[in-house]
Amino acid sequence: MVALHKRYHQREPVTAKTQLLGGDLLACVLGGVYTDVEKTMIELQHTTIVQETRSAFQNAMQQKFISAVERLSGRRVLAFISNHHVGPDIEIELFLLEPSPGGPSVWSPDSHAA
């Protein structure tokens, strides 16, 4: 995620942490993600424009993010959720991976909401 952020935003996030939770939920938390232009827009009370632009970009980039995770993990991504927050300045990318045979899982394809 850091490499993709740097490539498309022309800067690395200030902080980044990726963790595999429960065997099949990959969580990436990036901090300090906003560009100088976005920070200026936020300071000028144009937060909605920044959020809408970020959301549109994340939607457009979804397949690139998924492809990178599938390539690096060797597992298929079943679902991708992306969101960002202005204060604090963070971005969260969640990838639900196909469960490994016999491995721990936070999700089961047989489970459903009651």
What type of residue is 60?
A
Query: Measured between alpha carbons, how far is 108 from 17 in angstroms, rounded to an integer?
Result: 25
46-80 tens-digit pLDDT: 999 999 999 999 999 999 999 999 999 999 999 99
Residue-wise DSSP of 13-77: -SEEEEEEETTTEEEEEEES---HHHHHHHHTT-HHHHHHHHHHHHHHHHHHHHHHHHHHHSS-E
* Sign of the four-CA dihedral 45, 49, 37, 30: positive
* Single pTM value for the model: 0.85
User: How large a percentage of the chain has pLDDT more than 70?
Assistant: 90
Lowest mean pLDDT, pick from 9-13, 27-31, 51-55, 104-108: 104-108
pLDDT in tens, 31-54: 999 999 999 999 999 999 999 999
